[in-house]
Chain A
Amino acid sequence: MTIDVSPDLASLATAGPKAGHARRLAVHAVMIVLSFLSIFPIYWMIVTSLRPENEIFSTSLWPSNPSLENYVFVLTRIPMIGMLINTTIVSAATALLQVVTGLFAAYALVRWRMRLSGVIHGLIALSWLVPFQVTMIPNYVLASRLGLLDTLTGLIVPNAAHAFAILLLYNAMRSFPTEILEAARIDGTRSWKILWQIVVPNMGAPIASLSIIAFISAWNEYFWPLLLSRKPENSVVQIGLQMFMTQEGNLWGPLMAAATLASLPILIIYLVLQRHVIESFMKSGIR
């Protein structure tokens, strides 16, 4: 071959224009099916939430008389606004604390060479593999002893440090040029100052990724709130949703309105920061 054609163009050329066309159509067909599967349930949730009561079982793709009555019903029936505020507080605090504790721990491991650093690293990484269901009873007992049942603090504190956060920041920080740290240290700059004035300003991207992931996963967290929560007004929106479903499971309109309200903040974040959200999850993983 003398010409520099891309491999796929070459294969299209040998297979003839028709086969190439058919293949391209098939590729789009696969992606359209997958996209439809991914998005349609959410679309159907929103559409159902907008249907008035007498139209709830309709199968039209858009309600003929869209109305907000389901939302009004939800807002008067359960303390939705309060729970959304609670969830925002819990998620933001969890993300912030995970960033701070993660930065400190990662900084300690990168900046100092300690005899035990391998052990500490292992301890941090292995804590990830302990299923929460295994430690839930002692955790619950501890939380109740500390008076954290049915409080927002109780939802935040156990998640304030996470192996994932520490390792993500550690991996990012290790690629930070050590010469700069070294130079600052020789100048006699205090480690606290080096962290905040030199390291953190250069860690914008990983900190942003971590914040996005930590916020979204704290927002979606279900199991720990399920154990701690008693009253809906002291709880997060996932628990509110679950309680509402148990009580009014077949009021499909209001149920879909509640589910829409519970997902709206995350969907808005996604609409605004779409590329960043995808990239953060892809680079750093699943929660």
Chain B
Amino acid sequence: MTDIQADFARPLAVARAPAAGRQRGPFTVQPWLYLAPALCLLMMWTYVPLVEAFQLSFYQWNMLPTSPQRYVGLTNYQRLFALPEMRAALWNTLFYILGLFPMSVIIPLFVAIWTQDLEGRARTIYRALIFVPMIVAPVVAAILWRWLLNEDQGLITLGLETIGLGRIGFLTDPNYALATLTWITGWKLIGFSTLLFSAANAGINASYIEAARIDGASRWGIIRDIRLPLLSPTILLLSMMTILFGAQWSFAYINVLTNGGPLKSTTNIFYLLWEYGFQTMSAGWSSAAGMIAFAGFAVVAAACMWLTKRFAVYDN
């Protein structure tokens, strides 16, 4: 599950300053009873498994309960770093994330600014329509696009042929497959991101714009000097989501549509983890690759949080 809260960067900061009016008393058991269900579940299904995965990354094991786990030290990590597969998967992960940016951040940002005057009924209808892909199941989205892009009879293939561009193996040609999967991942996000930017943009205090206009600022000047800085929290939030979760979002499409192929061209790091774990049954490799991915993304997450604190402009 990949999800994120709109004010992602804040909850952590908030924890340090609890609301006033509560006393620090002697130890009471009651709060722990209320916390128990959630904490037990998180321990059982997230933290203990995380530690176990860390341990497994030093072992060789084929996932059969009857067969022994053999300690191999750092061999799994050494092997992984030597594997060309792993390097290709890491590059592909980067391509997925970079490819998502236009659809999750850049286009929505400019569409939101460009269409800010829309009002009334038209606005409501557009809103309702562009949100829909967000709630479509990834498997359904995969099937929809598989049909539209089908190499023999897909509507888009037929369309391209009519205008003389010939047939493109969107999902079978290694040059196009990754771009196609990125597009499908982005298709689900583009409308939602636009709505988030629109809401943030509508929240900008109109008197700033008015003042700038009176000072003779141009339309672009207003966007560059007022709107973009005030939209920076949303820009950073969506960028962070794209970086942290983009590669995870594409998992279902890879699994349903290409299985990582053709020629491994669509395998990303998360798909590789799954392949090692449940296709080739090498729990040690999968766990080691998982640890590498986890450490990498943790560093990126920390960097993103820092960037948000440093560069986001809040209008107080």
Contacts and interface: CB of A to CB of B under 8 A. Distances in A.
Contact of B38 (A11, A102, A287): A102
Contact of B41 (A30, A138, A160, A287): A160
Interface string B280-303: 000100110011011001100100
A118 B248 CA distance: 29
A216 B5 CA distance: 16
Interface in B21-54: 21-25, 28, 30-32, 34-35, 37-39, 41-42, 44-50, 52-53
B294 A130 contact: yes
B140 to A, nearest CB: 5
A276 B300 CA distance: 33
Given A105-B34, A112-B30, A178 B42 contact: no
B273 A136 contact: yes
Given A113-B24, A117-B15, A220 B195 contact: no
Nearest to A33: B111
Main secondary structure of the interface of A (DSSP, over half): helix
Contact of B130 (A1, A34, A140, A220): A34
A242 interface: yes
B63 interface: yes
Interface stretch (B70-78, B94-102, B174-182, B184-192): B184-192
A138 B278 contact: no
Contacts of A48: 147
Q: Contact residue range for chain A? A: 35 or more
B1 A255 contact: no
B241 A286 contact: yes
Interface stretch (B79-87, B113-121, B308-316): B113-121
A59 interface: yes
Given A124-B42, A259-B144, A137 B53 contact: yes
A282 B209 CA distance: 25
Q: Contact residue range for chain B? A: 35 or more
A31 B147 contact: no
Given A105-B34, A129-B298, A217-B3, A174 B19 contact: yes
A114 interface: yes
B160 interface: no
Interface in A116-145: 117-118, 120-125, 127-142, 144
A101 B192 contact: no
Contact of B293 (A111, A118, A134): A134
22 contacts: A31-B118, A35-B125, A38-B131, A39-B132, A41-B144, A41-B148, A44-B155, A108-B35, A112-B31, A117-B18, A123-B39, A125-B12, A130-B46, A130-B294, A134-B290, A160-B41, A164-B4, A179-B21, A241-B140, A256-B147, A262-B139, A277-B131
Given A10-B213, A281-B134, 6 more contacts: A105-B34, A131-B294, A135-B50, A137-B53, A221-B1, A284-B5
